[in-house]
Amino acid sequence: MQESGVDALIACLNACTSAEDCEILAGCVDRYKETSGGILISAAEIAGVAIRTDSRPLVERLIAAVSSEAMFDSKAARELLPALAKLETASAIGVCVAVAEHNHSSALNLARHLESSLGSMKPQTRGAYLNAFRAIVEEAGVSLLGYGTKQLPALFQKAGEERATEFVAQGVAIAHRYGRLAAEEFLEQKTAAAKGASPLG
């Protein structure tokens, strides 16, 4: 690791306001100690974002979803943490980590293109959209990634966060009870019932 990398790591540690947070950040960095300097710094930056935004469980999920062992076998896994570190918010990182629990390549692709999906969304709408997107991935897996990056942002921008969130919640409940494919059909409004429930219907 170069001198600037060490400085960056120290800066991340110095930003922690409690011993517990320092431990979380150091623990995250430690899990990737056998990888590269760039990955270490990225791990520290991601942990820093999680701590600052009170999203500490995200660190554990990251470590479980993208192990250092996986990085030896997969280029996508190696490139994933630096791509995640470029995202601005814990919500955005959270969506990608949820995807990484299923597939590292898909998570990397999403991390590189998520900012463009956010477009000109207001910050509050962005948060609601990202939370809804993560709920979909957690319940229905990665088959709705295309929906999440294309139709879902449009839904939030046109219908507003409250009505869009309500519609997505219905889709997630359908995924939970009736399966992933039933949820896909609902969110993509393939039935009259779904069209009727959609805020854009």
Which of 62/194 has CB closer to another protein? 194
Closest among 143, 56, 70 to 106, alpha carbons compared: 143
Smallest distance from another protein to CB 163, Å: 14
CB of 15 to another protein, least distance (A): 41
C-beta of 23: minimal distance to another protein in Å? 36
Contacts (Cβ under 8 Å, ≥6 apart) of 33: 40, 68
Of 129 and 167, nearer to another protein (C-beta) is 167
How far are the Cα atoms of 46, 61, 133, 173 from residue 146, in angstroms, in the given order?
A: 25, 23, 11, 20
CB 175, min distance to another protein, A: 8
- CB-CB contact of 88 with 48 (8 Å): no
Q: Which is nearer to another protein, 11 or 181 (CB)?
A: 181
Q: Which residues bind another protein (CB under 8 A)?
A: 170, 173-182, 185-186, 191-194, 196-197
Gap between the Cα atoms of 85 and 81, Å rounded: 6
> Residues 6 or more apart from 72 whose CB is under 8 A from it?
none
Helix (H, G, I), strand (E, B) or coil at 201: coil
The residue (of 125 and 151) whose beta carbon lies closer to another protein is 151
Query: Which is nearer to another protein, 19 or 192 (by Cβ)?
Result: 192
Min separation Cβ 190 and another protein, Å = 8
Planar angle of CA 30, 16, 41, nearest 5 degrees: 40
Rounded Cα distance, 161 and 158, in Å: 9
